[in-house]
Amino acid sequence: MKITTRLKRVFIIVISLLIITVIVAISLISPIAKYLVEKYDEKYSGRKITMGWVYVNPFTGYVHISNLKIYESKKLPACKKGDSIFFSAKGVSANFAIFKLLSKTIEISDQPKGIIIQNNKDLNFSDLIKLFTPEKPRTTPSTYHFNILSIKIENGVFYYREEITPINYFIKEVNLESTGKRWNADTMAIKFSILSGPGRGTAKGNILINFRTMDYRLAAIVHKFDLNIIEQYLKDLINYGSFSANLDADVKTEGNFREQENITVTGFMAINDFHFGKNPADDYASFDKLILAMNEVSPKYHKYLFDSVSIIHPYFKYERYDHLDNLQMMFGENGANISAAKTDPAKFNLVIEIARYVKVLVKNFFQSYYKINKLAIYNGDLNFNDFAISEKFSAELSPLDIVADSIDKNHKWVEVSLKSGIKPYGNIIVTLRINPKDSMDFDLQYNLQRLPVSVFNPYLVTYTSFPLDRGTIELNGTWNVRDGIIQSNNHLVIIDPLVARRIKNKDKKWLPVPLMMSLIREGGNIIDYEIPITGNLNDPNFHLGHQILVMIGNFFDNPAAIPHRIQVKHIESEIREILTMKWEMRKSSLQRDQKKFIAKMVDFLVKTPEAFVTVYPQQYDLKEKEYIMFFEAKKKYFLATKNMNLGSFNEADSERVDKTSVKDSLFVHYLNKRNKDAMLFTIQENCDKYIGSAIVNARFKQLNKEREDAFMLPFKKKGVDDHVKIYPGENIIPYNGFSFYKITYKGELPESLIRAYNKMNDLNDEAHRKKHKTEPKQSKSTL
């Protein structure tokens, strides 16, 4: 009994001592570990390390550190401050099986934060890489092996800063989980999910990496991931501008980190809401969605197999200025900014690297086997503006649709169709049949219809001083090209061109357009030419000899047709004047023939009391305001340079101002000096800022009121103004290029109109017009 009691006491004492030892060991080793780490941190790691509280259990191998903070190294050029934090976490845990010399789990939870900073080629963790890299490579296998069987990061935030460009970006809610890596295994599997930091969107997936061969497999799903990091890299390439887009993807990829071409991708990628331009409100390029549906894309194995490639509602705007264009203003003359960025070895630019990588991926495209089941552009919009001439020229292809089915390198031909409207008027249809193995073999047919010649008035006025206020262009042709050898015929028809009154201005060249018209125009007021083209694509031959003979023939034939054209012009003018009345730009006074026309209307209303006239003003808002803006800016400049006040400004001064060129170097210098804004690229923008839209709008309103008063005055004098109703103006782009009054009659139609219209029909049957029988576009539509 005594022995048993004694053994029990000894056992209890031993157990108590062991428990006390464990408690004391745990109690002491935890603060000791904290003390040692914080004391010798900079000596051994080169970084300051702080911790909240530490729990170390040497018996179970469990370690937990709260409020861990690792600071930046003070020695690295990538770091401006050694007191900034490199990595932090509210809690870091590890579970070591120390007898097996492996780690079961490493867990970083409670919002870990890490910061990567790059300065030139230096990174803020370069010192750590150097610290753990042996000076000499090991020649004998190590007898010590370390396994990590589980890694987990929860709800992390990681920042990336690049000091030179500069770049400031981060990702948040980073969750990473891995089964770890054994010492004798090459691969490691990782599951991840992240959110865009500054924007919206998520990305998640799985990746398997072989650290010996650097092969990888990736399966990723991306949803509306914001690509705003691209904008930060673009700022190093552009003088101004903004960018936005987001990414959708569901892809499976196999490849190798060391070999750029060793990649195989299946799945789909889509870039959404792409916008790139002068500012968020002024795009140079945009699209709603770009979709790549990939069956197999493998540059290494020379396969490019797409189910579809489509782009929805693409928009592109190209503008010419007095100096350069909108793209060169943005990227530098001839892309100088891009060239400078490419030649700077110290800078990393993600945009340039993506472009280089895409170039690598597609460099062997035409030498590889490619197949695209469907290639399509839907609802496109191509916009061209020319500000380099005296007034703005604008044209737009919209809506533009391009579709090609079954593009296969093994097929002999690929069919491509293009259809587009032309704004403000017209349309174009193109069909292309091309050999996918040789782009020098193709058949092309095109047909352009209903394009008014007045669209080109900005060029005609600038280079000839004569606008056209009527006429329709039609152009069609066929091209058959084999091995680059051309057989082509092109047919140009201009129907009813009419030269308007000359516009005199110092910046406008002069050509005798009326005389030229008499040479190139055939009977019936038609310009009709066929232009064959032969030779090859590098040196085409335009066969114009036949057309020169036609022009010579017109010179002798046209005098005989002059009485007919005079009669046609007279009847057409009569119909047009009864149905419409044109206003010249910025003018409100009635011309002599317009006064006669209104007098006829007044007499008709006096003789026909039951008749009623309705007037619909059709106002060319954009062009009228441009003319007003130019005049007001030049007038203000004239008054300032002549030290005159507005009260002394007379009609002669107004005429001098009107004839002053908006491209006059002194005037342009004066505007630039007053505005001092490098982002004003056009004379229109300079004048608008100098004058202000309020003044232009007020002058436009005043102009329309003066036109209405001038039109109504003869009716008021005869007391029939109550038989005339003028509706509010409608802002349009007129077919003939000028604002006009559209006039309709309620009641008995004027006999002069009936007679004139019947005569017009008779004249259209004459031999001069049988080849191109047509009625004047505007008169026909109005009737």
The answer on pLDDT for 404 being more than 70 is yes
In this prediction, residue 776 has a pLDDT band, given cuts at 50, 70 and 90, of: very low
Q: What percent of the chain has pLDDT over 90?
A: 38
- Which residues 6+ apart lie within 8 Å of 379 measured at CB? 312, 313, 399, 400, 401
Task: Identify the residue with better confidence: 385 or 158.
Answer: 385
Is 104 within 8 Å of 97 (Cβ atoms)?
A: yes
Domain residues for the domain of 58 are 1-130+146-185
Pull the structure tokens for residue 382.
């191509």
CA distances from 305 to 216, 356, 570 (A): 21, 21, 65
Residue 149 has pLDDT above 80, yes or no: no
Evaluate whether 292 touches 248 at the Cβ level (below 8 Å).
Answer: no
Give me the pLDDT at residue 291, please. 96
Tell me, what's the pLDDT at 446?
Answer: 96
Position 267 in a domain: no
| pLDDT recorded at residue 506 | 61
Per-residue confidence (pLDDT) for residue 4, from 0 to 100: 65
Q: Above 70 in pLDDT, residue 313?
A: yes
Contact 150, 104 (CB under 8 A): yes
Confidence of residue 768 (pLDDT cuts 50, 70, 90): very low
Q: What does the pLDDT read at residue 255? A: 93
pLDDT of residue 185: 80
Cα 441 to Cα 438: distance, rounded to the nearest angstrom: 6
Please write the tens of the pLDDT for every residue from 555-592. 555 544 444 444 444 444 545 445 778 898 889 998 88
Q: What is the pLDDT of residue 21?
A: 66
Burial of 607 (0-12, 13-18, 19+ CB in 10 A): exposed
Higher pLDDT, residue 514 or 257: 257
pLDDT of residue 528: 85
* Position 174 in a domain: yes
pLDDT band, residue 436 (cuts 50/70/90): confident
Question: What is the DSSP code string of 119-164?
Answer: ETTEETTHHHHHHTS-SS--SS--S---EE--EEEEEEEEEEEETT
Q: Are 168 and 232 in contact (CB under 8 A)?
A: yes
CA separation for the pair 780, 765 (Å, rounded)? 16
The SS3 of residue 395 is strand
Task: Provide the token pair at 648.
Answer: 């002394």
305 falls within a domain = no
Q: Which sign, positive or negative, has the C-alpha torsion 543, 549, 555, 561?
A: negative
> Is residue 157 one of the residues assigned to a domain?
yes
Does 732 reside within a domain?
yes
Q: What is the pLDDT of residue 508?
A: 66
Confidence of residue 599 (pLDDT cuts 50, 70, 90): confident
* Class of residue 770 by CB neighbours under 10 A (exposed 0-12, middle 13-18, buried 19+): exposed
Query: Above pLDDT 70, what percent of the chain?
Result: 79
pLDDT at res. 159? 85
| Residue 616 pLDDT greater than 80, yes or no | yes
Indicate the pLDDT class of residue 761, thresholds 50, 70 and 90. very low
**DSSP per-residue letters across 437-461:** TEEEEEEEEEEEEEEEGGGGHHHHH
Both tokens of residue 724?
């005339």
pLDDT digits (tens, 9 = 90+) for 37-55: 878 777 777 788 888 888 8
pLDDT of residue 311: 96
At residue 778 the predicted structure's pLDDT band, cuts being 50, 70 and 90, is very low
Are 288 and 312 contacting, i.e. CB atoms less than 8 angstroms apart?
yes
Span of 1-5, 448-452, 626-630, 775-779 with lowest mean pLDDT: 775-779
Average pLDDT over residues 102-122: 62
Which of residues 91 and 271 earns the better pLDDT score? 271
Residue 473 token pair: 């262009």
Question: What's residue 719's pLDDT?
Answer: 92
Is 430 inside a domain boundary?
no
Rounded CA separation 234/344 (Å): 15
Rounded to the nearest integer, the mean pLDDT of the chain is 82
Mean pLDDT across 182-197: 87
Bridge partners of residue 447, in order along the sequence: 429, 476
- pLDDT value at position 138? 60
| Nearest in space to 149 (alpha carbons), one of 124, 178, 180, 170 | 180
Residue 397 has pLDDT above 90, yes or no: yes
Residue 482 falls inside a structural domain = no
Contact (Cβ atoms closer than 8 angstroms) between residue 351 and residue 230? yes
What number is the average pLDDT over the span 95-117?
60
What is the mean pLDDT of the segment spanning 426-441?
A: 91
Q: In the numeric block, which tokens belong to residue 475? A: 């152009």
pLDDT higher for 362 or 330? 330
pLDDT of residue 180: 77
- Please report the pLDDT score of residue 765 as a whole number: 40
**Taking every pair of C-alpha atoms in the chain, what is the biggest distance, in angstroms?**
151
Q: What is the structure's pLDDT at 500?
A: 82
- Residue 88 pLDDT > 90, yes or no? no
Number of domains in the chain: 2
Q: What does each C-alpha distance from 313 to 145, 190, 379, 397 come to in angstroms?
A: 58, 38, 5, 12
With a CB cutoff of 8 Å and minimum separation 6, the contacts of 331 are 237, 238, 239, 337, 338
SS3 585: coil
Spatial separation of the C-alpha atoms in residues 496 and 581, rounded to whole Å: 18
pLDDT above 80 (res 25): no
pLDDT recorded at residue 253:
95
Q: What was the pLDDT predicted at 720?
A: 92
d(CA 566, CA 169): 73
Domain presence at residue 280 = no
Q: What backbone torsions phi and psi does residue 148 show, to the nearest 5 degrees?
A: -115, 110
**Higher confidence at residue 84 or residue 346?**
84
Residue 189 identity: A
Provide the residue count of the chain.
783
Global pTM reads 0.81
pLDDT, tens digit, for every residue of 691-724? 999 999 999 999 999 999 999 999 999 999 999 9
**Would you say 576 and 778 are in contact if contact means Cβ atoms under 8 Å apart?**
yes
pLDDT (0 to 100) of residue 270: 96
Nearest-angstrom CA–CA distance, 750 and 737: 27
Residue 174 parent element (H or E): strand 167-178
Pairing mode, strands 263-279 and 242-256: antiparallel
